[in-house]
């Protein structure tokens, strides 16, 4: 940083500490964060649409139907950027933010500000079947994190501002400020308290105003609700809830399965080639899989399923409604495949919008089946399209409230609130019962980095094993005599436990003061008894590189020990005492609850 800028910043911070309360400063900063997140979202959308418009007349809608070759071009450009500029594998946007909040005190690198703004438009603009919401959230969160560091904001407030940026990105893209706040609370497990709610609201409002300023009244879904909730349709909405639950389970399992299929391809080049070809084939057969899919959703909401499907190899048969239903169901199945293949091939994007596309297709399919069974039933296809989206969001992301309020805000009213609650709650409950974790959280749960609304679990996840290791233990060698141990270690130690190490610093066992209490004053035994005769195995080991704090707590509980040794890469590191662990837990809990 330039010295002049540094001096100005120092003067500003001094003035701020003297004249502006911390609460007021957080509120002002949340407004700034919201504006920046909105700016990021607008930039991301416009950059992507610019790329699509440049390609539109040339290839995408040409008579030659060559659009299916574009994804591999976009993926190749992303590959070159990652290899020569970013120089690190791309991470899933929301998962990396949760990990940052859990294990890195809300710190995100500067490159996370601009990388999503480059990689995501190249992926989506060239036809990658992913969304822009995740990259917008990631870029906004990184901006917020670095702004907080610049202003010397503490870790807890910094984490709140990261969540504010995430809410701002969603508010800007969907122009739905209430759903944006709820998303931040559901996904990032924030407490519903005024201290966190007000900054989220301010950021969300600031972001949506930014979106209106740059984009005017342009909305993603040009839809006006014409039919409200009919009590006689309740059973069908329950059926839709069950259907979206199964679709959510399929979506999640397919995501992890496809990533697993790509694991044997160690080189990113091979993953790019195989993934790009696979996406191209899917796009040729099912054109609506191209890009994000908002045009597809809007066409379904307008009741124009032929426009939604576009030109396909099955155009000659689309006069038959059951062929249309089959094609829409194909989109339901293959959107998850196309999305995950884009990720596996090295693309950048998000999960949220593909979830909406899949849900809209499924909801429309269910409505069309009901209307064409010939039993005299008639339901609103546009309403089912909307509520199908809510069902998939609730099931895939485990965010039922976000799903309900997002669709309610999109429709401009709450006439569908009851069916939204029915479908979203059924989908969420069934999916949650079948799958403990989401696409966002499964890998985080494995490493103990998952934030939850369970305060006890949250505090344990925020704690680090490194912070509670004690190293002031006198070590002994197995070949030492009792006399040597007493003079060199016991007499100089304030602890009652002695780790026995070999020449390579590996733990051979431990000796407690109680083990030698009866013989420690019998000088005749000093040269006759050796450490190796006295040592014994500890009741349990803690492995620094793999054990989470939850596992550490469980090991203390199961073993009944007061001290347990810590091992890292096979070598002794130190001990963790139950008293220090509980003290650290209590302090973290108090800090978290304030």
User: CATH number, domain at 586?
Assistant: 3.10.580.10
Helix (H) or strand (E) segment spanning residue 563: strand 563-568
The reply to whether 193 and 279 lie within a common domain is: no
The reply to whether 363 and 242 lie within a common domain is: yes
Handedness of CA 15, 16, 20, 22 (dihedral sign): negative
Asked if 27 and 202 count as a contact pair (C-beta separation under 8 A), the reply is yes
| Closest by CA position to 447, among listed 109, 102, 158 | 102
The reply to whether 56 and 199 lie within a common domain is: yes
pLDDT score at 61:
47
The reply to whether 160 and 266 lie within a common domain is: no
Report the CATH number at residue 109: 1.10.3080.10
pLDDT score at 451:
55
Residue where a domain terminates, one of 446, 476, 509: 446
The reply to whether 200 and 253 lie within a common domain is: no
pLDDT score at 224:
66
pLDDT score at 387:
94
Assign residue 493 a region: left if phi > 0, alpha if psi is -120 to 50, beta otherwise? beta
Q: Domain for residue 453, yes or no?
A: no
Task: Tell the residue number behind the tokens 């497990």, with chain if given.
Answer: 189
Structurally, the chain folds into a number of domains equal to 3
Going residue by residue through the chain, which has 594 residues, state the pLDDT in tens, using 9 for 90 and above: 567 778 888 887 788 888 888 888 889 999 999 999 999 999 999 999 888 888 875 554 444 456 678 888 899 999 999 989 988 888 888 888 888 887 777 889 999 999 999 999 999 988 888 989 999 999 999 999 999 888 888 888 888 899 999 999 999 988 888 899 998 888 876 665 666 788 999 999 999 999 888 876 665 666 666 677 778 889 999 999 999 999 999 999 999 999 999 988 888 888 999 998 999 888 888 888 888 888 888 888 888 888 888 777 777 777 889 989 999 999 999 999 999 999 999 899 989 999 999 999 999 999 999 999 888 888 888 889 999 999 999 999 998 999 999 988 887 667 888 999 999 999 999 999 998 888 887 777 666 655 555 555 656 666 777 778 888 888 899 899 988 888 888 888 888 889 999 888 899 999 988 888 888 888 888 888 888 888 988 989 989 888 877 788 888 888 888 889 999 988 998 998 888 887 777 776 656 555
| Closest by CA position to 200, among listed 190, 210, 209 | 190
- Quick one: angle between helices 133-150 and 93-103, nearest 10? 30
pTM higher than 0.75: yes
Q: Domain for residue 31, yes or no?
A: yes
Q: Domain for residue 469, yes or no?
A: yes
Q: Domain for residue 585, yes or no?
A: yes
The reply to whether 7 and 98 lie within a common domain is: yes
pLDDT score at 339:
93
Beta strands in 404-525 (DSSP E): 497-501, 507-512
Containing domain of residue 89, as a range? 3-215
- Quick one: angle between helices 111-125 and 70-81, nearest 10? 160
The reply to whether 208 and 270 lie within a common domain is: no
Q: Domain for residue 221, yes or no?
A: no
The reply to whether 373 and 520 lie within a common domain is: no
Query: What are the distances in angstroms from CA 187 to CA 175, 390, 504?
Result: 19, 16, 45
The reply to whether 462 and 442 lie within a common domain is: no
pLDDT score at 240:
95
The reply to whether 112 and 170 lie within a common domain is: yes
Q: What CA–CA distance (Å, rounded) separates 301 from 359?
A: 12
Using alpha carbons only, give the angle 512, 517, 518 rounded to the nearest 5 degrees.
Answer: 135
Q: Domain for residue 225, yes or no?
A: no
Q: Domain for residue 442, yes or no?
A: yes
pLDDT score at 168:
93
| Closest by CA position to 578, among listed 548, 555, 544 | 555
The reply to whether 390 and 472 lie within a common domain is: no
Q: Domain for residue 452, yes or no?
A: no
Q: What CA–CA distance (Å, rounded) separates 198 from 41?
A: 22
């Amino acid at each position: 940083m330039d010295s002049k800028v540094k001096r100005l910043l120092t003067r500003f911070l001094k003035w701020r500490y003297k004249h502006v309360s911390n609460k007021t400063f957080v509120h002002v900063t949340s407004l700034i964060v919201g504006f920046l997140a909105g700016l990021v979202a607008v930039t991301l959308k416009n950059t992507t649409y610019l790329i699509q418009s440049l390609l539109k007349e040339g290839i995408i809608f040409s008579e030659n139907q060559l659009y299916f070759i574009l994804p591999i071009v976009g993926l190749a450009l992303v590959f070159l950027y990652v290899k020569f500029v970013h120089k690190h594998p791309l991470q899933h946007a929301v998962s990396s933010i949760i990990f940052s909040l859990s294990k890195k005190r809300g710190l995100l690198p500067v490159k996370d500000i601009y990388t999503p703004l480059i990689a995501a438009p190249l992926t989506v603009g060239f036809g990658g079947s992913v969304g822009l919401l995740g990259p917008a959230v990631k870029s906004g969160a990184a901006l917020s994190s670095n702004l907080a560091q610049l202003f010397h904001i503490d870790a807890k407030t910094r984490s709140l501002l990261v969540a504010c940026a995430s809410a701002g990105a969603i508010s800007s893209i969907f122009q739905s400020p209430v759903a944006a706040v709820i998303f931040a609370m559901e996904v990032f497990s924030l407490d519903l308290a005024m201290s966190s709610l007000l900054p989220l609201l301010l950021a969300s409002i600031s972001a949506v105003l930014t979106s209106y300023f740059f984009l005017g009244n342009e909305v993603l879904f040009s839809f006006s609700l014409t039919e409200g909730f009919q009590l006689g349709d309740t059973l069908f909405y329950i059926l839709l809830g069950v259907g979206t639950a199964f679709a959510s389970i399929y979506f999640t399992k397919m995501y992890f399965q496809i990533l697993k299929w790509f694991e044997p391809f160690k080189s990113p080049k091979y993953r790019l080639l195989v993934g790009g070809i696979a996406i191209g084939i899917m796009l040729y057969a099912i054109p609506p899989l191209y890009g994000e899919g908002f045009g597809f959703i809007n066409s379904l909401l307008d009741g124009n399923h032929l426009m939604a499907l576009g030109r396909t190899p099955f155009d000659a048969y689309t006069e038959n409604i059951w062929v249309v239903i089959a094609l829409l169901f194909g989109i339901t199945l293959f959107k998850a495949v196309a999305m995950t293949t884009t990720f596996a091939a090295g693309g950048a994007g998000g999960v949220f919008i593909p979830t909406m596309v899949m849900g809209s297709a499924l909801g429309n399919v269910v409505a069309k089946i009901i209307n064409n069974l010939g039993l005299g039933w008639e339901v609103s296809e546009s309403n089912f399209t909307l509520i199908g989206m809510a069902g998939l969001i609730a099931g895939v992301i485990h965010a039922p409230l976000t799903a309900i309020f997002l669709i309610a805000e999109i429709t401009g009213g709450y006439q569908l609130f009851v069916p939204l609650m029915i479908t979203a709650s059924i989908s969420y409950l069934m999916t949650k019962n079948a799958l403990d974790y989401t696409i966002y959280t499964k890998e985080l749960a494995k490493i103990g980095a998952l934030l939850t609304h369970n305060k006890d679990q949250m505090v344990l996840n925020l704690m680090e094993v490194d912070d509670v290791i004690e190293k002031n233990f006198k070590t002994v060698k197995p070949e030492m005599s009792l006399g040597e141990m007493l003079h060199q270690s016991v007499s100089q130690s304030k602890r009652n436990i002695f780790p026995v190490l070999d020449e390579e610093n590996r733990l051979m066992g431990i000796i407690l003061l109680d083990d030698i209490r009866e013989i420690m004053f019998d000088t005749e035994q000093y040269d006759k008894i050796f450490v190796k005769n006295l040592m014994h195995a500890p009741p349990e080991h803690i492995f620094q590189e793999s054990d989470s704090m939850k596992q550490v707590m469980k090991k203390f509980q199961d073993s009944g020990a007061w001290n347990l040794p810590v091992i890292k890469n096979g070598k002794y590191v130190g001990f963790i005492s139950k008293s220090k662990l509980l003290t650290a837990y209590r302090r973290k809990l108090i800090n978290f609850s304030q």
